[in-house]
Amino acid sequence: MPLFLALDQSTSATKALLFDADGRALDRESRDHRQHYPQPGWVEHDAEEIWQNTLSVLHALVARHTPRLAEVVALSITNQRETIVVFDRATGRPLHPAIVWQCRRGDSICAEHSAAGHAPLIHARTGLKLDAYFSASKLQWLLRHRDDLRVRLSDGSALIGTIDTYLIYRLTQGRVFATDPTNASRTLLFDISRLCWDEELCAIWEVPPRALPEVRESSASFGDSTIDGLLPQPLPIRGVMGDSQASLFAHRGFTPGAAKVTFGTGSSLLLNIGTQPRFPKSGVLTTVAWVHAGVPVYAFEGIVISSASTLTWLRDQLRLAPDVASIESLAMAAPDNGGVYLVPAFTGLGLPHWNSTARAAITGLSPHSDCRHIARAAFESIAFQMSDALAAMQGEADVPITSIHGDGGPTASRFLMQLCADLAGIDLHVSTMADCSAYGAVLAGQLGLGRYHSLSDLDAIFRAETVYRATLSVGHIEAMRAGWSRSVQATLR
């Protein structure tokens, strides 16, 4: 039976997984990497640390399965998307810390472009908002502050990549410099209608097009790798997708109206809208879901900037409890939120507000309030934000959303999943598979290998889910939402 190796490089960790042909994760190995905060609102990763962690987890996993190594047929990659790396063409080594999708250092640059009237063009080409969440303003900040990098990117001795590109380059020892449309479409440099880098956008952001990678379909060949000499024979790299799109792929969201939410540091909601892009002006994003056999599929996207990171903040910064499980126990001990709301706008708010200057707040505190109410408010904030984003997407969609699929580490919390179903008023189908993004990339890789020949072939593969159904009355939900809305308004500047 063939086996499939997958690499999942996320905001907080790098994970290697081994899947069998039925989609079972047989084993996994993970390494956390450090989060660097050089200034308020800035977030960086050490890209060299990420590379070393990549080697470490792959080596550990392969070592445990050496007898079955001949059965491994491909390596697939899924990754955090908007995070950007500038690296040396000759060695692949990073020339600056990776600037993470959460980083807001590009806010003033985005304001400049907005004042210059560039926002409508950027939206019409990319489907995205003019916002520092995406890669381009991070790159322009680097070009303005590092003359040496500007020169090297212009003369071709340095290259630009999202995390997938960077890892592929190093895994192939510089033989392949490529990305896929799901990652390219997150940069504000990619025309999602023509499916190519856009010279006019590159000029606006001062990014040399020659420094950008080739764009290949997710199921295409991305070269091969011995994983830095670990394997006796090179392993083909097939199946490369940004983590959110890979999750929708794993849920087999192949038809218009299919929706999913991935809970993590932040949360990403995707809604399949078919083969034609649409460009709402309401703040709903449009992105490439995937391209298969030359045919693009597009999705509306809703971004929640702070989800599980809110619980981490309660643990690490407020020291409310020693671990997230204890925070959940506190939340469940409260019968309701006691009028307390936590709006986790630590680095702004995403859909539907898209306000980068909003700042976090806890509202409704009274002499009756205690740590249980704050803990519950934190969990509810994840559900409220998901519900707000879903409602905005529903308002722009031509098809009804009758249910939504969920995945990600926080789905292990039955308490949180029930809150999400209740506050959204919709059935939530939670995958029992813990690694949907990695498996989505593996499925794309299997298409590329010819093991499956169409999306309908993939749709027939069994998937197990737990369904959470909304239980609260409409009146109860409306009362809770009214308090949430008032609290959100108090954070907006």
CATH code at position 198: 3.30.420.40
Q: Does residue 492 surpass a pLDDT of 90? A: no
Q: Does residue 358 surpass a pLDDT of 80? A: yes
- Whether 434 is covered by a domain: the verdict is no
- Residue for token digits 């934190």? 378
**Percent with pLDDT over 70 in the chain:** 100
- Whether 261 is covered by a domain: the verdict is no
Position 357 scores a pLDDT of 84
Position 432 scores a pLDDT of 85
Q: Does residue 463 surpass a pLDDT of 80? A: no
pLDDT category at 397 given cuts 50, 70, 90 is confident
**What total number of domains does the chain contain?**
1
The overall average pLDDT reported for the chain is 93
Range of the domain at 111: 3-243
Query: What is the C-alpha to C-alpha distance for residues 50 and 48, in angstroms, rounded to an integer?
Result: 5
- Whether 144 is covered by a domain: the verdict is yes
What is the torsional sign of CA 485, 489, 490, 492? positive
Mean pLDDT of the region 450-474:
87
Q: Does residue 456 surpass a pLDDT of 90? A: no
- Whether 373 is covered by a domain: the verdict is no
Query: What is the C-alpha to C-alpha distance for residues 323 and 483, in angstroms, rounded to an integer?
Result: 28
For 65-173, where are the alpha helices, taking DSSP H only? 107-115, 119-126, 135-145, 147-155, 163-171
